[in-house]
A and B are shown apart, each in its own frame.
Chain A
Amino acid sequence: MTTVFVPRDAAALSVGADDVAAVLEAAPGVSVVRTGSRGLLWAEPLVEVATDRGRVGYANVTAADVPALLAGGLDDLPERCLGPVEEHPWLRDQRRVTFARVGVVDPRSVDDYAAHGGWAGLRRALSLSPEQVVAEVVDSGLRGRGGAGFPTGLKWRTVLAGEADQKFVCCNLDEGDSGTFADRMLAEGDPFSLVEGMVIAGYAVGATEGYVYVRSEYPHAVAALRRAVESAYTHGFLGEDVLGSGVRFDLHVRVGAGAYICGEESSMLESLEGRRGEVRARPPIPAVAGLFGRPTVVNNALTLGTVPMVLADGGAAYAALGTGRSRGTQVFQLAGNVRRGGIVELPFGVTIGDLVEGYAGGTRTGRPVRAVQVGGPLGGYLPPGRFDLPMDYEALAEADAMLGHGGVVVWDDSADLARLARFAMEFCAVESCGKCTPCRVGSVRGVETLDRVLAGEDVSRNLGLLEDLCEVMSKGSLCAMGQLTPMPVRTALRHFPEDFDRTPEGADR
């Protein structure tokens, strides 16, 4: 019997993984295990065959390839046979911590999770006091992976100190930033790690109830999480007596409804409460008055998914990775016009160039890279001249860019940065919650102003107006959406001024 691994990750399904799995399942002598994706998305559907050399990977397998694959017919094609996957340079040189199990285990199997180190963090946490658990997370240096980078342990300490009849833990899986997909892949490929991280968080801060808020665009992640939650209840990892410790933790999976702004934590809380996802003014912060006004831990999925490792191996082991104040690893996501897109998990400090020219291998179109946007739609545009920048929170902030959720979107030389600046404003106008004027009105005015620039109308005056508008939005908006929409606009202007130098229609140059 040959064991073959086929991803069930949404990205793999989007290019035909189910068709491949169906043919393999019908083949005699083949046992198929459905996993998450290794993150070599450029190779999907990536089929792995168990051998005495390890799991040997085959790239871009179609249903029609299956007979040849099983007969060894792809083995001599270097483009198709990647050799033992874990020795492939793209994966071998990564440092998988948060993504250690993704693509390896069967995400539906609670036993497989346990066999790969699962629940060790929870067991250790339950042997410590809540204060000690919080101290481990503080010591790890783990910072919020959603984008803001706030120290997770400090947030937990605030919630632990709060006195309330009820506290909550909320996992933000409303991953709406274009160019990011790590939350989705973790939820689909290793959902128990999120369950475990949330139970640990609940125990640490004294919360007995948790919510995972998943965007509706991620139906596969919703299904994977619901299944994992049900299984965790059955096996005693959730419920009124977690692992016989007397600790209670209940977990609910909630689905968003197509609103980018609900990735902003206070808007997500409003949505969980059943209201319009309008942001809340701070203070109070959610750690003091969050869901239903109670002290609430709100963490990104990657943050909570990393917590089990931090507890299992100790905060110091995690803090030993990384650079400066950015400790541990970051799950970078390579997207857009790239030859090899996917997940690259490495300690903080890798340069943009290492990711874009090294891992991504340049553009899919084969044309020169002209721009990258780091950190999602609210992140800055950077030219190849800045590819020496290290990927850490502080270094990027100093360069007027941001790490955000770790996404890197690549463009070739056909990119028009003035159009992309307009798109940033357009997106903000569509997705603004409308609560504050700088964001709601500023974004619409931004689109109008950039339309005039694009038409070559009074360009320098309109660019002056645009800068004023950016100033008002960044200083006057209630949340990151309005505050940061100016970042892509301003960086596009600063690094690619030639794109804004439009000739008026009908004029000679």
Chain B
Amino acid sequence: MSDTAHDRAALVRTLAEQHRHERGPLLPALHEVMEELGHLDRSDFPVLADVLHLSVAEVHGAVSFYHDFRTAPPPSHEIRLCRAEACQAVGGQELYDGTRSRAAAGELGEGTEVAEVFCLGNCALGPSGTLDGTLHGRLDGARIDALTREWRR
């Protein structure tokens, strides 16, 4: 095991141990690792399983079920746009399609990823989305342009 892998395993163990006495500790522990390390690595699964007295299959099962748990490092910037009904009613789908093609063409900064989300609870002020985790309402292409200006430097 390399030093970095060793350090990672030790950190994951410490993070998981903070939750081992809770009931149903797996999701809180997975969130904690995501928060600290940005994604879940397959090598984390046996460590989590060991600390929380679960099988590796149970950890893998939970990680693969939930959309939030990434198994690859996060992109440099992330735009999540709502594709659900209330935002569709005000052009959310077109905004999503347009933003995706602009990102693919590299117009929104290098490494910017555009993902779909189904409802951010901002349904009266759509189209809604998050840019690097910050919620924005009444979005359109020009707003996204302005909000991503820094990313293109």
Say whether A and B bind each other.
yes
- A159 to B24, alpha carbons, bound, how many Å? 21
Which residues of the other chain, A, contact B28 by a CB distance below 8 angstroms?
254-255
Given contacts A10-B122, A176-B118, A341-B124, contact A277 B85 (CB under 8 A): no
State in angstroms the CA–CA spacing of A433 and B135 once bound together: 27
Would you list the 7 A-B pairs with minimal beta carbon distance, nearest first? A341-B124, A274-B26, A178-B84, A336-B89, A257-B66, A258-B67, A335-B123
Docked pose: A292 CA to B22 CA in angstroms: 13
Among A8-62, those with CB < 8 Å from B are: 10-11, 13-15, 41-42, 44
**Interface residue tally for chain B (C-beta within 8 Å):** 43
Q: Does A290 contact B (CB under 8 A)?
A: no
Known interface pairs A179-B85, A179-B86, A274-B25; A258-B68 also in contact (CB < 8 Å): yes
B66 near A335: Cβ-Cβ < 8 Å: no
- Which residue of B65, B86, B120 contacts A336 across the interface (Cβ within 8 Å)? B86
> How many angstroms from the CA of A342 to the CA of B25 in the assembled complex?
36
Task: Known contacts A181-B122, A257-B66, A276-B61; decide if A336 and B85 are in contact (CB<8 Å).
Answer: yes
Given contacts A373-B85, A409-B85, A271 and B27 within 8 Å (CB-CB): yes
The interface residues of chain B lying within 8 Å CB-to-CB of A175 are 121
CB distance from B23 to the nearest CB of A (A): 7
Say how far B21's CB is from chain A's closest CB, in angstroms: 12
Q: Which residue of B lies closest to A292 (CB)?
A: B23
Contact between B135 and A410, CB atoms less than 8 A apart: no
Closest beta carbon of chain B to A301's beta carbon, Å: 12
Interface residues of B (CB under 8 A from A): 22-28, 30-31, 52, 54, 58, 61-62, 65-69, 82, 84-90, 117-126, 128, 133, 135-138
A–B Cβ pairs within 8 angstroms, 25 of them: A11-B124, A13-B135, A14-B122, A14-B125, A178-B87, A181-B122, A181-B123, A216-B31, A217-B121, A257-B66, A257-B67, A259-B66, A273-B23, A275-B61, A292-B24, A333-B124, A336-B90, A336-B126, A377-B84, A377-B85, A410-B89, A412-B89, A423-B85, A423-B88, A427-B118
Cβ 8 A contact of B136, one of A14, A292, A410, A430: A14
Residues of A within 8 A of B88 (CB): 336, 420, 423
Contact: B58 with A275, CB < 8 Å? yes
> For residue A15, which residues in chain B have a CB less than 8 angstroms away from its CB?
125, 136-138
Looking at chain B's contact residues, the main secondary structure is loop
B124–A255 touching, CB < 8 Å:
no
Cβ–Cβ < 8 Å partners of A13 in chain B? 135
Given contacts A11-B137, A258-B66, contact A420 B124 (CB under 8 A): no
A266 CB-CB contact with B under 8 Å: no
A14 and B66 contact, CB distance less than 8 A:
no
Q: Closest CB-CB distance, A148 to chain B, in whole Å?
A: 19
Question: A14 with B128: in contact, given A274-B25, A337-B90 (CB under 8 Å)?
Answer: yes
Smallest beta-carbon distance B146→chain A, Å:
12
Q: How far is the CA of A74 from the CA of B35 in the complex (A)?
A: 44
Q: Does A431 contact B (CB under 8 A)?
A: yes
Contact: A275 with B23, CB < 8 Å?
no
Least CB distance from B95 to A in Å reads 14
Q: Which residues of A have CB within 8 Å of B24?
A: 272-274, 292
Residues in chain A near residue B121, CB distance under 8 A? 10-11, 175, 180-181, 184, 217-218
State whether the Cβ of A96 lies closer than 8 Å to any Cβ in chain B: no
| A34 CA to B7 CA, complexed, in Å | 42
Number of interface residues of A (CB under 8 A): 62
Q: Contact: A180 with B137, CB < 8 Å? A: no
Please give the distance in Å from B59's CB to the nearest CB on chain A.
9
Question: How far does the Cβ of A100 sit from chain B's closest Cβ, in whole Å?
Answer: 20
Q: Which residues of B contact A427 (CB under 8 A)?
A: 84, 118
* A178-B123, A431-B118 known; A335+B86 contact, CB < 8 A: yes
Interface residues of A, Cβ cutoff 8 Å to B: 10-11, 13-15, 41-42, 44, 175-181, 184, 216-220, 252, 254-260, 271-278, 292, 333-338, 341-342, 364-365, 373, 377, 407, 409-412, 415, 420, 423, 427, 430-431, 433
Closest to A182 in B: B121
Which A residues touch B61, using CB under 8 A?
Answer: 275-276
The answer to whether B69 touches A411 (Cβ under 8 A) is: no
B68–A216 contact, CB under 8 A?
yes
Contact assessment for B68 and A337 in the assembled complex, using a CB-CB cutoff below 8 Å: no
Q: Say yes or no: B124 contacts A41, CB within 8 Å.
A: yes
Interchain CA distance A377-B86 in the complex, whole Å: 9
Considering only CB atoms, which chain B residue lies closest to A274 in the complex?
B26
Decide: B124 and A342 in contact? CB cutoff 8 A. yes
A contact residues around B125 at 8 Å (CB) = 11, 14-15, 41, 44, 341
Contacts of B66 in A (CB 8 A): 256-259, 277
CB distance from A250 to the nearest CB of B (A): 11
How long is the Cα–Cα vector from A178 to B82 in the complex, in angstroms? Answer: 9
Q: How far is the CB of A297 from chain B (nearest CB, A)?
A: 16
Whether A255 pairs with B27 at a CB distance below 8 angstroms is yes
Point out the residue from B62, B68, B137 that lies within 8 Å of A14, measured CB to CB. Answer: B137
Given contacts A15-B137, A415-B89, whether A334 and B124 have CB atoms under 8 Å apart is yes
Which residues of the partner chain B approach A336 to less than 8 Å between Cβ atoms? 85-90, 123, 126
Please give the distance in Å from B116's CB to the nearest CB on chain A: 9
Taking a contact as CB atoms under 8 Å apart, the answer to whether B123 and A341 are in contact is yes
Query: Which residue of A255, A338, A342 is within 8 Å of B31 (Cβ)?
Result: A255
Question: In the assembly, what is the distance between CA of A255 and CA of B67, in Å?
Answer: 13
Contact, CB under 8 Å: B85 / A420 = yes
- Given A336-B89, A336-B90, 8 additional A-B pairs, CB 8 A: A179-B123, A256-B27, A259-B66, A274-B54, A275-B26, A292-B24, A377-B84, A412-B89
Contact of B117 among A14, A217, A219, A256 (CB under 8 A): A217
Most buried by B among A178, A334, A415: A178
Q: Which residues of A contact B119 (CB under 8 A)?
A: 176-178, 217
Q: A168: shortest Cβ distance to chain B, in Å?
A: 9
Which residues does chain B contribute within 8 Å of A179, judged by CB atoms?
84-86, 123
Contact residues in A for B89 (Cβ distance below 8 Å): 335-337, 409-412, 415
Residue of A whose beta carbon sits closest to that of B31: A255
Most chain A beta carbons < 10 A, residue from B86, B87, B119, B137:
B86
